[in-house]
Every structure is written in C-alpha cells, then in structure tokens.
Copies of this chain bind each other. A is one copy, B any other.
Amino acid sequence: MRGAAPEDDELVPDPSTQRKNVLLLGRWAGPGALEGHFVDRIGVVDTMFSCVNMGDIAEERLHLRPDCGERFEILRRTVPGFKDLGVAAKQMIETDGCRIVIACGMPGAAALDVACAHEASTGILLAQMLTSTHVLEVFVHMSEASDDAELDALCRNRVGDHADNAYKLMYAPEELRQRAGMGVRQGGRDRGPVAA
C-alpha cells in the first residue's frame, strides 16, 4: 500500500468492503449491515513531516488481523506536522466515528523540536480527554536512531506494536491485563518484570 493512496480508497481501504459499506444508524456498516452486522472504525493519522510512512505501517499491521474489514475498518488521514495530529484525531472521533485512533509523529532533533513535541503531545492528550476515547501517541524521535535504516526499523517495530495495542484495547483488553507490570516496551526489547 505504501506510496499508493488513491482518493476513492480513503474511507474504505479494504477492497472487499469498498463498494458495499454504508453509514447506518450512525455507525459505518459493512457488507452485512442490513443483516445487523456493523463495522467499527479505527483511525490512523500520520504526518508529511515524518521521513517514514508510519501510517502505512499501522495500516499494514491492522490488515493482518483476520477480522479486518468485517469487524473493523481503517480510516486514514495525513496532516502536515505533528502539531496537527490532535485536532485531526478529534475530528476522526467526533465526525468520522472512529472508536480509537493511532496518531503517528516523528519529532526532530533540534532544541525547538522538544518544546513542539510537548505541545503536540498535549494536543493528543486533549483529544482523548475531550472525547473520552483512546488516541495512542506513537512518536519516534529522530534522535533515537543513528541512521536511516535504524530509524525505519524502529518505526516498524513501535508503530506495529501500538497498532496491536489499539486492537487489544478494542477487542482483547484481557491480553493487556495479563501483561500488567511485565515491563513491556513498544519498539524495543521488553525490559521484563522485576526479578522475583
């Protein structure tokens, strides 16, 4: 999917549901809507500023789920920079009916970028608190990697892990609870629990 983002593909990225989805009773309905089958929406929003296509990584990971397209579909948006993520996530929840959003950004390494990252995080925080909906902040700082390959790999791991988390927050909260206190890290090796 990387590099190909045709406009008519935007709202219903899964080909199998592309022509059949309709908005029904305020929820976005898949092929089986008339038989009472509704489809949830998971939002993915990323930036042009990032030098890795983080949104595509999130989409790809979510597409691995067998119930993608049936149980949930993906709504994708791209904004200029990470300060635009918060309001975009809020719109995707309020207007587009997303039940959870994955917000991907890549703060630069300059001193000014640190303050900006804090403001971007505050926007994502406010989007959550004003909608009572989870928005997973997935930031990969350029300063975390020493070259392009490492940056790309770090993005793939962290964004992928958070896409899994979004799925579990929606459909498998018990999997999160079973890992409480396990020292889990997104995008790196787990720290693990304290030695007994």
* Contact present for A125 and B52 (CB under 8 Å): no
Inter-chain contacts of A52 with B (CB < 8 A): 181, 193-194
* Contact present for B47 and A180 (CB under 8 Å): yes
Q: Would you call A177 an interface residue if the criterion is a C-beta within 8 Å of the partner chain's C-beta atoms?
A: yes
Q: Would you call A20 an interface residue if the criterion is a C-beta within 8 Å of the partner chain's C-beta atoms?
A: no
The interface size of chain A toward B, counting residues with CB under 8 Å, comes to 79
* Contact present for A180 and B80 (CB under 8 Å): no
Q: Would you call A119 an interface residue if the criterion is a C-beta within 8 Å of the partner chain's C-beta atoms?
A: yes
- With A90-B129, A174-B5, A194-B148 given, is the CB distance from A182 to B48 under 8 Å? yes
Given pairs A88-B134, A148-B194, 18 additional interface contacts (CB within 8 A) = A10-B173, A47-B181, A48-B182, A49-B183, A50-B181, A52-B193, A52-B194, A53-B182, A53-B193, A54-B181, A56-B180, A76-B177, A79-B134, A83-B125, A84-B134, A86-B125, A112-B141, A149-B194
Chain A residues with CB under 8 Å of chain B are 3, 5-7, 10, 46-56, 76-81, 83-84, 86-88, 90-91, 94-95, 112, 114-119, 121-123, 125-130, 132-137, 141, 148-149, 151-152, 162, 165, 169, 173-174, 176-186, 191-195
22 contacts between A and B (CB under 8 A): A5-B174, A6-B174, A10-B174, A46-B180, A47-B180, A48-B183, A49-B183, A51-B183, A53-B193, A54-B181, A77-B173, A79-B176, A83-B137, A86-B128, A87-B133, A87-B134, A122-B122, A122-B125, A127-B129, A129-B130, A148-B194, A149-B194
